[in-house]
Structure 1
């Protein structure tokens, strides 16, 4: 009975935290950083869920990748959220697995870093695919419905993009592209200071 009460308290704390984060987004504080190190830290933060679902997790980092100008705390939040989501999605897999791959991508907007977080879970139902980033939409009994909305907002603040799609032969992938050339992120500490000085 006590454990149920503690779980409910944690769930309420999670809801409150997500609502505050979504309703009052912090100004981001970017710096040049290594995405690989941020992902490694995010894996550590998500380790409890990874262990709970007995997930076999592998990372593949392309050698010689450039740094990105980003907020380390915000990106850590993005990656840990997506890794936890992927771990939960593997509940229907016989041998749960997550593969994280980071590589250089050349696109129309210039050079970027592509981060794929893929699982072998149940995949994405096409009927709900368009709603996954909508605030307060969730398919889980105890989801807040704000996790992916917060993730998308943070990625867009960094002038990046995120897409969710089905994995082959099964499961789903979250694919993020972050620019490697300097682009002043939205709501950065510097831009906020400039506004105050005007």
Structure 2
């Protein structure tokens, strides 16, 4: 129940909360993106309408100015009635004009401004009109005016042809609305553009992004986020399960060692006492029976008793660590002291043995007997791995703050199916092995705050590396 509750809490913390927070962020981000897209589209269409209105005004004023130029050429031959008749014909033919009038005198401010500047004036005081002066080329005097009232409904139609759903307003220079298309949609943003050919301004509404549009646009990203977070959750679950399995394996390993240690501590005394008695009687019998056959049997019994003692000692080391007398020693000296023993064993098995001391002292805080046992165990395993002879090299080096011991052989290597179980008790590839040698070595190295690593290739050999922390001085 506790584990399931923890799993649910982790799911809420690592999946549900990130999904909710991420989804909210995606919705806000998508709303901003869509609003920006609407803004760009509105600005684009506003400029399209602005260019269309500029072109419309340019064409209209050009037509009036052309008409004024023609009339000025024939002003002496044309009567006011002829001019008005001509203007009526233009009204019927050109849909842009609501009404066109001719004035011989200026009657308002727009006409007076056109007379003074000799230029066409667009006036939107009451109605949207274009005032074009008729200028006599010879005297450069203004002899009349064409006043054309524009059809705003025609301008609206042009806008709707371009964009049926356009929601915009057209303002004059005083801020008066000349016309507005459609109903103004609610919006917090507007886009404004100014015309080039008139003092007018177009204001366009930026449409508001609805919640439905926002959710529809955000849904693919939200689904992708949910899938990604669940994939991460599955990877975390896999990692936690793998870690839990490893911890359980380590716990089982520890329990095994504790069981072995407890068994060893409780039975070592009972085993050693009978062994001591047996060893004593065997020694007495060997002195009484001097024949070669009896001596051979006694020798075998003595070796087996020694082997039993060694196994008991290994069991004791696997138990709970006892207080050890540690001293600072040179690792060179420790390995050198057991050099003859390793050399004799190597000679018996037709193995070429090489020992390489470090160039500098390697002071370590240790129990000398325990470290000797580590080196002897590793050397013994290496020699036994070379049944047909080979080469064994033990070397010592200094690497930063570590003393490093290498035990290298070119034997048969370690089988792949055993590599992952090397430091588990009772695991061995030898027919007569107990499977405790490497376990004991690792336990001793761990007690000295060091590390042990094994690199092995089948049919090529094995390299074992032991690292121990250096101390400052040698006692």
- TM-score, normalised relative to structure 2: 0.35
The within-5 A match list for 1:164-183 is: 164-166=454-456, 170-181=460-471
Q: 1:134 corresponds to which residue? A: 424
- Show the counterpart of 2:366: 70
Q: Is the 8 A contact 1:18 1:144 kept in 2?
A: no
1:112-131 alignment, distance < 5 Å: 112-131=402-421
Is 1:28 the equivalent of 2:318?
no
CA-atom RMSD in angstroms:
2.3
Higher share in strand: 1
DSSP-derived class of the 1:58 partner: strand
Secondary structure, in 3 states, of the residue corresponding to 1:46? helix
Greater helix fraction, Structure 1 or Structure 2? 2
Cα deviation, residue 65, structure 1: 3.3
Q: Give the structure 2 partner of residue 52 of structure 1.
A: 348
2:396 matched residue in structure 1: 102
Specify the alignment match of 2:89 in structure 1: none
Task: Return the alpha-carbon distance in structure 1 between the equivalents of residues 362 and 313 of structure 2.
Answer: 33
For structure 1, which segment, 48-57 or 96-105, has the greater mean C-alpha deviation from structure 2 after superposition?
48-57
**1:174-193 to 2 correspondences below 5 Å:** 174-181=464-471
Choose which of 350, 375, 390 in structure 2 pairs with 1:79.
375
Measured in 2, the distance between the counterparts of 1:118 and 1:181 equals 26
1:167 CA displacement:
6.3
Rg: which structure is higher? Answer: 2
Match of 1:41 among 327, 337, 341: 337
SS of the counterpart of 1:59? Answer: strand
Structure number with the bigger relative contact order (C-alpha 8 A, sep ≥ 6) is 1
* Contact preservation (8 Å) 1:112, 1:177: yes
Secondary structure, counterpart of 2:454 in structure 1? strand
With 43-52 and 1-10 compared, the bigger mean Cα shift is at 1-10
Distance 1:67 1:147, change over 3 A: same
- Match of 2:312, SS state, is helix
Aligned partners of 2:352 and 2:392 also within 8 Å: yes
Partner Cα separation in structure 2 for residue 18 and residue 58 of structure 1: 27
1:9 Cα offset (Å) = 3.6
SS in 1 for 2:354: strand
Q: What is the Cα deviation at residue 125 of structure 1?
A: 1.5
Conserved 8 A contact 1:98-1:118: yes
TM-score (norm 1): 0.78
Aligned match of 2:438: 148
Structure 2 distance, partners of 1:169, 1:113, is 29
Q: 1:169/1:126 Cα in 2 relative to 1: closer, same or farther (>3 Å)?
A: closer
1:6 and 1:71 map into 2 onto residues whose CA distance is 28
> What runs of 5+ residues in structure 2 fail to find an aligned partner?
1-295
Measure, in 2, the Cα distance between the counterparts of 1:168 and 1:103: 26
Matched, 1:161 2:451: yes
